[in-house]
Structure formats: structure tokens, C-alpha cells
Amino acid sequence: MTSVLISILAMLRGAARSRAALHLEILALRHQLQVLQRSRPQRLHLVKADRWLWAWLSVAWSGWRTALVIVKPETVIAWHRQGFRLFWTWKSRRRNGRPPISTDVRSQIRRMANENPLWAAPRIHGELLKLGFDISQTTVAKYMARPTSVAVAVVAHVPGEPRPTSRPPTSSSCRPRRVGFSSCS
């Protein structure tokens, strides 16, 4: 007699609940069956996705404790707290240094430096600011293509003057000139 009365009360309770709560309960029970079938011969094995599902169910559904069979409700609450700790640890991490520069901006800097060999970092920085790239002049200088010494000699050559040599003068070439000078450069 009592079992019939309990069944009738359960049926009335089920009729009074919302459709969403019934779907969440079905989801919870099916998930528990899937976990039990997945780890049947061994000890119960829960993965992160299982923990996240139960942490979400504990927030979204008020009757989640009644459907929970495989673990204690306190365990699910601990998982939920652990998720909050991980989120706020990630959110408050330190971000040192400058933000990274995209490869498009780096290639634009190199292209501008190659196409305009007389432009230095301040000029390229100004042109990038006009194009809408918020980047520092130091960063532009860092990512500019470094010219070789021959290219510098070609770029620095003024017509009508002899081309500079790539070697610095030696001390033997300074000797004849140092008669009246105190130092030689």
C-alpha cells in the first residue's frame, strides 16, 4: 500500500515539474549510466567533461542533488569551487612586457624598409601611425631589416665623392699624418 502511495506521489510531483527540469534530470541520469558503463570493470573514472557537466547542472538545476548517485553532492560543489579558482587564477595572471606584434605588421615594417632604404625607424614609425598601427619607434627599429655593410656603403655614397672603404684605417696609414696631431682616429 505504501509503495502505491509513493508511486502516486512521485507521479504527481513529476506532473507538476517543468519540462526543462525533466530534461535536465534525464540528462543527469543518462550521463551517470554512461559513466558507469564506461568504467564498468574498474573503479569509477570521471574525466574533466563529467566534472564540468555536474558543476553546470548544480548551477542550472535546483533538483540536481536528487538525481546524483555516482558521487556525493559535496564532491560536485568542490569541483565547482575548483573551477572558480582555476578561472580567477587564469584571469589574474601576470602579463609582462609589450603585447606581441603580428606577423603582418612585421612584414609591413620590413617591406617599407626595403622599398625605402633611406627611411630610418622614425620615418617608418610615422608612416605606420598614419596607417593606423599603434606601435612604438623602438619596436619598428627592432623589426627593420638590418642592411649589410656593403648596402650601407652604397646607400651612404654621395655622388662626386670617392666611395668609402669597408675597412677602417690602420695605424700605419695614420703615421705620416700624425706629425702635428696629438691623436688619430
Q: Find the mean pLDDT for residues 125-144.
A: 91
C-alpha span between 127 and 119 (Å, rounded): 10
Number of folded domains that form the chain: 2
Task: List the one residue out of 178, 184, 154, 182 whose CA is nearest residue 166.
Answer: 154
User: Looking at the predicted structure, is the pLDDT value of residue 91 above 60?
Assistant: yes
C-alpha span between 142 and 140 (Å, rounded): 5
63 domain-assigned? yes
pLDDT in tens, 44-82: 777 888 888 878 888 887 877 777 777 888 888 888 888
User: Cell 622599398 identifies what position?
Assistant: 115
Q: Find the mean pLDDT for residues 21-43.
A: 79
133 near 102, Cβ under 8 Å?
no
Handedness of CA 133, 134, 136, 137 (dihedral sign): positive
83 near 57, Cβ under 8 Å?
no
Residue 113's domain comprises 99-156
**Claim to verify: residue 62 and residue 42 sit in the same structural domain:** yes
**Claim to verify: residue 24 and residue 80 sit in the same structural domain:** yes
User: Looking at the predicted structure, is the pLDDT value of residue 124 above 90?
Assistant: yes
C-alpha span between 178 and 185 (Å, rounded): 10
23 domain-assigned? yes
